[in-house]
Structure 1
């Protein structure tokens, strides 16, 4: 019995999700980042807890619980409203935070701003993908 538990333990642990993906506002070596953490509490549950960890060191470091959703369906858009105001959007749910004073706004104001990228599951990894910005030359013909 004990040997079968030891053999099965890695299988039980591999089903759990506990990972993060980060957006670095001031480059990959900076102190200003927004990190999404998704964690599945139990291997038999499909739900995962989704949190935002915002940091702008040394003035701001805070963890905010956002929502629960299936681990494989976590997809959160990151939008920048300027002046360290960030909006996160997952379907119909939206959250707005500000990293200057490390606060979460009770209501989302405006449209959220410019799309910076998306936090999402990519196979068995959780990643941040920057938005692709296409520039149109000034002398391009109109369609």
Structure 2
């Protein structure tokens, strides 16, 4: 009879110790508002267990009320940054390490993995999705200095 009580107690203790391993999933989302919250790109980062070195990424292109669509980027480094560039025409280039994707917000349907940098370049950097203190954030790119934009004096 005593053995049965110890077994039940041991099973309860084991269950309590295993709970942290089961709640290790991290599903984080952060938006880059293009013109407003109705026109945005939202990065979704899902990491199944805290000890994994990879996470699954996807992006949601939104231009409400006309369109909204989620596109899978696939697995990437758990702490990798995703840079957002604006080449124009409501197209956006997402660069994650060596991987690059193009997504558009005109119809929200266009999405493709790029094999290399486009001929016209990436466009200006808008900002970077990155992990900070365990939280997915979007860091806006610094604005160019006024001197860089001013015409050269003759």
Specify which of 99, 109, 129 is matched with residue 119 of structure 1: 129
- 1:82 is aligned to 2:84: no
Deviation of 1:7 after TM superposition, in Å, equals 5.0
- The residue that corresponds to 2:7 in the other structure is none
- Taking a change above 3 Å as real, the CA distance of residues 67 and 78 of structure 1, as seen in their structure-2 partners, is same
Matched residues in 2 for 1:106 and 1:20: separation? Answer: 21
Tell me, which stretches of 5 or more residues in structure 2 are unaligned?
Answer: 1-10
TM superposition score normalised by structure 1: 0.82
Aligned length: 137
How much is the aligned-residue C-alpha RMSD, in angstroms? 2.3
The alpha-carbon deviation at position 13 of structure 1 amounts to 4.6
Q: Post-superposition shift, 1:135?
A: 1.6
Note if contact 1:77-1:88 (Cα within 8 Å) is conserved in structure 2: yes
* Equivalence map 1:1-143=2 (5 Å): 1-6=11-16, 8-9=18-19, 11-13=20-22, 15-27=24-36, 30-71=37-78, 73-102=79-108, 103-105=110-112, 107=114, 109=118, 110-137=120-147, 138=150
The structure with more helix, counted as a fraction of residues = 2
Q: Distance in 1 between matches of 2:132 and 2:50?
A: 19
8 Å contact kept, 2:82–2:130: yes
36-45 or 50-59, which deviates more:
36-45
> Larger C-alpha radius of gyration, 1 or 2?
2
Contact 1:22/1:34 (8 A) holds in 2: yes
Task: Indicate the SS of the match to 1:96.
Answer: strand
Please give the alpha-carbon distance, in whole angstroms, between the structure 2 residues aligned to 1:7 and 1:96. 44
